[in-house]
């Protein structure tokens, strides 16, 4: 299944407060980070681990370990930062990359301004953090950037996705799995998710 909507009662509880127009920036940051942390167990459900035998104080134990290269968390700046922080609060044995872009408010298309990625993405599990999958333009652009750097195993992680955004990603990259906390059906004329939660970047950084 290429789209996983978590629909967990605890996540839904926090998402309700996150969506509220009365939630101030400090609380918004706290909740976005906490929700991202709660998503970790689903995000890394398919984490590549390998057999590893260790010695406990009593005897041998057949456990697991990570092999290099480590998984990579890629944030779409700015708002993706809060998600990567929440994820690495729980699991920090990762490399971290950043793709900076903003949405042109007239064309609604993404504009790239920075790209800092680890090497050897072709051998890594890549987790792309984009809190809002609205039109899908930013996600598609970022996935294209990762593929230009030979990434082949990509998951898109979102707090909130829209049906049009999901469709755009699936139409362009049917192999990319989307994992989101919640999903809304539609967008307004300005490309914002409805009912949504507003602009995640502005609400996170109080801009």
The pLDDT tens digits for 37-66 are 999 999 999 999 999 999 999 999 999 999
121 in a structural domain? yes
**Measured distance CA(154)–CA(99) in Å, rounded:** 14
Classified as helix, coil or strand, 64 is strand
What per-residue confidence (pLDDT) applies to 108? 66
77 domain residue, yes or no:
yes
Domain of 170, CATH number, reads 3.40.50.2020
Q: Which of 103, 124, 135, 145 is catalytic?
A: 103
The answer to whether the beta carbons of residues 155 and 126 sit under 8 Å apart is yes
DSSP state of 188: -
Say which residue the tokens 């929440």 belong to: 86
Classify residue 150: in a domain, yes or no: yes
Indicate which residue of 16, 107, 171, 185 is catalytic: 107
- Please count the structural domains in the chain: 1
Is 199 tagged catalytic? yes
Q: If you ran DSSP here, which 8-state letter would residue 185 be given? A: S
Q: Reduced to 3 states, what is the DSSP secondary structure of residue 83?
A: helix
pLDDT of residue 31: 96
Alpha-carbon distance 38 to 182, whole Å? 13
Q: Is 56 contained in some domain?
A: no
In a domain, 179, yes or no: yes
- At 64, give phi and psi (nearest 5°): -135, 165
Contacts with 90 (C-beta within 8 Å, 6 or more apart), sequence order: 37, 40
From the first residue on, what is the mean pLDDT of each consecutive set of 10 residues in the chain (207 residues)? 91 97 95 96 94 97 93 92 95 95 74 88 94 93 95 96 96 97 94 92 86
**pLDDT the model gives residue 18:** 96
Q: What is the pLDDT of residue 28?
A: 95
Residue 11 sits in which domain range? Answer: 3-50+61-205
pTM beyond 0.75: the answer is: yes
Domain-embedded: residue 158: yes
Compute CA 24 distance to the chain's CA centroid, rounded to the nearest angstrom.
22
Residue 94 to residue 143: CA distance in whole angstroms: 19
Terminal CA-CA length for the chain? 37
Determine, yes or no, domain membership for 26. yes
Look at residue 55 and tell me if it is in a domain.
no
Query: If DSSP codes are grouped into helix, strand and coil, which group holds residue 165?
Result: helix
Give the span between the Cα atoms of 40 and 127, in whole angstroms. 11
Active site residue 103: yes
């Amino acid at each position: 299944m290429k789209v996983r909507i978590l629909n967990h009662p605890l996540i839904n509880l926090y998402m309700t407060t996150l969506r509220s127009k009365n939630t101030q920036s400090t609380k918004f940051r706290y909740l976005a980070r906490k929700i991202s942390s709660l998503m970790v167990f689903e995000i890394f459900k398919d984490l590549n681990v390998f057999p590893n035998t260790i010695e406990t104080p009593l005897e041998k134990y057949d456990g697991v370990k990570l092999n290099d290269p480590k998984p990579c968390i890629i944030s779409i700046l700015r708002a993706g930062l809060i998600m990567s922080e929440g994820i690495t609060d729980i699991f920090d044995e990762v490399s971290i990359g950043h793709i900076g872009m903003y949405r042109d408010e007239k064309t609604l298309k993404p504009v790239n301004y920075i790209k800092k990625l680890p090497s050897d993405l072709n051998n890594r599990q890549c987790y792309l953090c984009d809190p809002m999958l609205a039109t899908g333009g930013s996600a598609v652009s970022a996935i294209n950037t990762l593929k230009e750097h030979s990434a082949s195993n990509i998951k898109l992680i979102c707090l909130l996705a829209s049906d049009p955004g999901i469709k755009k990603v699936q139409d362009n990259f049917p192999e990319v799995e989307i994992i989101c906390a919640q999903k809304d059906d539609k967008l307004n004329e300005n490309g914002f998710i409805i009912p949504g939660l507003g602009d995640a970047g502005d609400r996170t950084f109080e801009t």
